[in-house]
A and B are shown apart, each in its own frame.
Chain A
Amino acid sequence: MSRRLYELAHCRAGDKGDTSILSLIAYRAEDYPLLVERVTVEAVARHLRGIVAGEIRRYEMPKLGALQFVCERALNGGVTTSLALDAHGKSLSYALLEMTI
């Protein structure tokens, strides 16, 4: 059965230069292993194609039941050079949560 991340986890986006930092926090601790297994770097790169142009790193935070995705070249060059309306990529949290696993 495929499920949308939105039902399993919540997310807040932060930014540093051209890097977008996306947390993925399981609502229920028992869903965390599923996130670890399915929400891989490769799967996120596929889901966010056209948005994230650079490397993606994933950090596991088992005590928090959370994953952290650090996505390089995700903000059109960063706030200064980006012509985007949401230059900080604050809304990318909800782009990640659209992913189905």
Chain B
Amino acid sequence: MPRRLRIGSGAGFSGDRLEPAVVLAERGALDYLVLECLAERTIALAQLRRKAKPTEGYDPLLKRRVEMLLPVLKRRGVRLISNFGAANPLAGADVILDVAQRFHLPLKVAVVTGDDVLAKIDRDQTALESGRPLSDYGPLVSANAYLGADAVIPALESGADVVITGRVADPSLFVAPIAHHFGWRADELDRLARATVVGHLLECAGQVSGGYFADPGIKDVPDIAHLGFPFADVDDEGNAELGKVEGTGGAITLATVKEQLLYEASNPGAYVTPDVTADFRDVSLREIARNRVAVEGGRANGKSPTLKVSVGYLAGYLGEGEISYAGRNALARASLAGDILRQRLSHLFDEVRIDYIGSTSSHGRALDAAENPYEIRLRAAARAATAEQASLIGEEVEALYLNGPAGGGGARKRVTEQVGIVSTLLERGAVPPSVTIKEWKHEPAPV
């Protein structure tokens, strides 16, 4: 049997912590490091930055991540795969090569493009969420197809040290090196399904190794401040063992792995990616050592003829304001403030939302019967077409100082531009991916 392939997961979202990836690269004995940096709306926001400045549009943390990682990756012979190219992978590659040149590290970067289908998308096409045409939603700013492992594998075949992409389905970032390493064909669907299970478990990085898990006294996680990110040792059937670097914080247990396996699986029998539709229902998990869980099984349940496309549109502005009330009768004073705001603002907006943070803001009502909280933070929110209109919310909340109930403090106000996301489908043939190689080499010394 060929030896197992070790893939580390060094980021689970754009803003993820930087150090755990360095620990993995330095001490993880990795073959590949994958950084997943694109949530649904991240790429739409990146497209806005690119529109403002054509050399921008890659992940804002790309340069810092690469500066920290590149020397270690080169020294350890670890290849990097990341979707941190966001809306502009070609420009992101230039930044990586700048870093390589500064560090005098010869580097070959393969850039995967083709996911940006904004120019191809038909505005009359309907959104999956509503059945309404995309043109109903307002100005479109981005449309990115979810590419699969087949788009990334040619980049790996080029021998590049770094593969940078835009939108690629999160698990496919992991499936690609597995399928490439073991030489699987695109129709080996059960193997791809098992690799997809592994990719899904790794795609949120620390969420499988104790992040987003701790609940003191009932689900304790050791040394979570130094949370270690996970790696998987994958065999040629796509089965794997999950682990993390010795001495790091966190925990990999049956419980942490189960939470992540089910995370966002809207149909555990049919988890759709561009590579395969995977059935998670017969996946079996075994704890084989401390912080080591074996993942076996998972099978294919077909393969979608279409690719999902995530479409971003401008969705106006969110206006928010907050103010705190504390001590005796805090909730009653906050409620009075809420009534006042409704009278002053309701006629100006479609909907004004008032939340009582500390009581009912998360679920609309308290699901256990905690009464008389010591402090309450009132929050008001509304959406508007313009920033000026949205700012009225925060202005009225701040004005509660002199024009509202007793004892309000700590008012804050904010206006945020909103980008909405809807999905649609495209035939696979309409989205041909391509690979561009960019390279920096030492100039030969003059004779």
Contact = CB atoms under 8 A, between A and B. Distances in A.
B355 interface: yes
B411 interface: no
Contacts of A85: 355, 357, 361-362, 379, 381
Interface string B48-82: 00000000000000000000000000000000000
B351 A83 contact: yes
A79 interface: yes
B442 interface: no
Nearest to A72: B266
A64 B258 contact: yes
Given A12-B212, A27-B255, A92-B363, A63 B266 contact: no
Interface in B217-246: 218-219
A50 B41 CA distance: 27
Interface in B379-431: 379, 381-383, 418-421, 423
A17 interface: yes
A19 B128 CA distance: 13
Nearest to B40: A79
A63 B286 CA distance: 11
Contact of A59 (B267, B318, B355, B419): B267
Residue from A6, A16, A27 with most neighbouring chain B CB atoms (10 Å): A16
Interface residues of A, number: 36
Given A59-B269, A80-B418, A98-B367, A16 B262 contact: no
Interface in A1-57: 6, 10, 12, 14-19, 21, 23, 25, 27, 47, 50-51
A101 interface: no
Interface stretch (B29-37, B140-148, B183-191, B276-284): B276-284
Interface residues of B, number: 49
Given A68-B265, A83-B318, A95 B418 contact: no
Nearest to B365: A50
A51 B129 contact: no
A78 B368 CA distance: 25
Interface in B236-272: 255, 258-269
A88 B338 CA distance: 24
Contact of A50 (B364, B418, B420): B364
Contacts, number: 103
Contacts of B282: 63
B315 A83 contact: no
A8 B381 CA distance: 36
B367 A17 contact: no
B95 interface: no
Contacts of B261: 64
B338 to A, nearest CB: 14
Contact of B259 (A15, A23, A86, A92): A23
B353 interface: yes
Contact of A83 (B283, B353, B363, B423): B353
Given A85-B379, A95-B367, A21 B281 contact: no
A14 B264 contact: yes
B22 interface: no
B266 to A, nearest CB: 5
A27 B264 CA distance: 20
Nearest to A77: B129
Contacts of A95: 362-363, 367
B99 interface: no
A84 B353 contact: yes
B259 A51 contact: no
B262 A64 contact: yes
6 contacts: A23-B263, A25-B258, A64-B261, A81-B420, A84-B353, A95-B362
The 3 closest A-B pairs by CB, nearest first: A14-B264, A80-B420, A23-B262
Given A14-B262, A80-B419, A81-B383, 16 more contacts: A10-B215, A12-B262, A14-B263, A16-B266, A17-B129, A17-B423, A21-B264, A21-B266, A68-B265, A79-B421, A81-B315, A83-B318, A92-B363, A95-B362, A95-B367, A98-B367
